[in-house]
Amino acid sequence: MMDFIVIPILALLAATAVTVARIRNLWAAVMFTGIYSFLSASWMLILDAPDVAFTEAAVGAGITTILMLATLSLTPRRHRKSGRLSSEDFEERPSKSPLFPLLIVTITGCALVYGTFDMPHFGDPNAPIQVYPEPSFVEKSQPDMHGLPNVVTAVLASYRGYDTLGETAVIFTAGIAVLLILRKNTDDKDGSESQAVTGENV
Amino acid sequence: MTEFLGLYNYWIVIFLMMTGFYIVIARENLIKTIIGLNIFQTSVFLLYITMGKVTGGTAPILKGSHGGESHGGETHGAENHGAEHGQELIAAAEGHLDSGVDAVVGVYSNPIPSVLMLTAIVVGIATTALALALVVRIREEYGTIEEDEILEMDRNS
């Protein structure tokens, strides 16, 4: 029964990724990236990771798409002082022969597939990842976190609390760096710049 | 052949990863390159999440008698039985699914990949934002976001 949901999602995921690689129009590519993120969030939900799925849907499909659209609106191809922009201003130029990159990607992919032959099977309860950090922490997290039932939240906020603090520091640093990069000495074209900056601070 | 079919999740992830890799190395447009990096990144998240999945498991949100509705005295009891429940969970994880598993302990997928990937997603959006800001700045300086045109301008100047 589950296969009827999983297989279409995986097929759509692969099709979306290939479409992103082939399509020339950048607006369409950004929208397909949002669809790709949302489809991968759907697969994460099926793989029992609802917290990651929510975050991926909100951050990957939401904020990333908004940031890319804001960037795209600031970077049309031709530099025009006036006149309406057409969709051709947001199209990639045709690239060189794709054969050499395709060869590299195929070789790398084959090497990685060869590497998976030593991996534990999908869903295997005896895989090293399930056995090694003794799973009793799943049950112990509840008394540690005063009855909080969600183990992911317990680990994120308690056992790995300092890591989460460091992550916040990374976001802060990135925000400051974006502000410094986008800052201008002259104060012309203020409107378009503040648009991008508001996007970063979501 | 059937022994390899259990690895299909890795192959799908590798396909997606290589698509992202192709976009990064084959395309000259800077925004397209960032899109490729994003696809690569999402496929790495999927790699970790699929490794945490346990067949027959459910999301790592504890259910049972000492869940949500009954805190207080029950929480104390849970403390005493914590180790014992842990043992049962190990038993469950080792595949003895029908022995020693009561209503309190179920089979959960591994929460650790979820935790790691939550951090990675947030750090990923930070790096993406930084890269996009750099693209905007490059467009201001050079008037283009095509990599070969930028390199040519650098050589000529």
User: What was the ipTM of the complex prediction?
Assistant: 0.84
Please list every residue in chain A whose beta carbon sits closer than 8 Å to the beta carbon of residue B51: 127, 129
Which residues span the domain enclosing B32?
A: 2-156
DSSP A87: G
Which residues span the domain enclosing A56?
A: 1-76
State which residue of chain A sits closest to B76, comparing Cα positions: A143
Residue A27 lies in a domain: yes
Helix, strand or coil, per DSSP, at residue A22: helix
pLDDT tens digit sequence for B55-101 = 888 888 887 644 444 333 333 333 334 444 444 444 444 444 443 33
pLDDT tens digit sequence for B10-63 = 999 999 999 999 999 988 889 999 999 999 999 999 999 998 888 888 888 887
Beta-carbon separation of A136 and B89 below 8 A: yes
SS3 letters across A62-79: HHHHHHHHHHHHHCCCCC
Query: Residue A194, CB half-sphere, CA atoms under 13 Å: how many?
Result: 5
d(CA A74, CA A193): 8
Q: Tell me, what CATH number does B115's domain have?
A: 1.10.287.3510
The alpha-carbon gap from A82 to the nearest alpha carbon of chain B, in Å, equals 15
The alpha-carbon gap from A167 to the nearest alpha carbon of chain B, in Å, equals 7
Residue B77 has what pLDDT?
A: 36
Residue A83 has what pLDDT?
A: 64
* pLDDT at position A105 over 80: yes
Number of folded domains that form chain B = 1
- pLDDT confidence tier of residue A141, bands split at 50, 70 and 90: confident
Of B53, B87, B137, which has the smallest distance from its Cβ to A182's Cβ? B137
Q: In this predicted model, which residue has the larger pLDDT, A185 or B142?
A: B142
Residue B67, chain A, CB below 8 Å: the answer is yes
pLDDT tens digit sequence for A165-191 = 999 999 999 999 999 998 876 555 544
B27, A95 Cβ separation under 8 angstroms = yes
Residue identified by tokens 């990863």 is B17
Tokens of B96: 């003895």
Bridge-partner residues for B58, per DSSP? B108
A71, A29 Cβ separation under 8 angstroms = no
Residue B65, chain A, CB below 8 Å: the answer is no
Measured CA to CA in angstroms, residue B100 lies from B34, B56, B97 at distances of 50, 16, 8
Beta-carbon separation of B29 and A129 below 8 A: no
Beta-carbon separation of A138 and B51 below 8 A: no
d(CA B23, CA A70): 21
Within A75-160, residue ranges assigned H as helices are: 99-116, 128-131, 137-144, 151-154
Q: Is B103 exposed, middle or buried (0-12, 13-18, 19+ CB in 10 A)?
A: exposed
Of A18, A95, A140, which has the smallest distance from its Cβ to B82's Cβ? A140
Please list every residue in chain A whose beta carbon sits closer than 8 Å to the beta carbon of residue B66: 142, 147
d(CA A96, CA B150): 16
Number of folded domains that form chain A = 1
Residue A141 lies in a domain: no
Which of the listed ranges A119-133, B44-58, B103-117 does the model predict with the highest average pLDDT? Answer: B44-58
Helix, strand or coil, per DSSP, at residue A41: helix
Beta-carbon separation of A75 and B145 below 8 A: yes
Residue A13 lies in a domain: yes
In 10 A of CB A166, how many CB atoms? 12
The alpha-carbon gap from B156 to the nearest alpha carbon of chain A, in Å, equals 20
b/e burial code for range A168-202 (CB count within 10 A of at least 16 → b): eeeeeebbebbeeebeeeeeeeeeebeebeebbee
Residue A124 lies in a domain: no
State which residue of chain B sits closest to A150, comparing Cα positions: B61
Q: Which of A60, A125, A66 is nearest to B45 (CA)?
A: A60
Residue identified by tokens 């490729």 is B36
State which residue of chain A sits closest to B148, comparing Cα positions: A95
- pLDDT confidence tier of residue A134, bands split at 50, 70 and 90: confident
Residue A76 has what pLDDT?
A: 83
d(CA A61, CA A30): 10
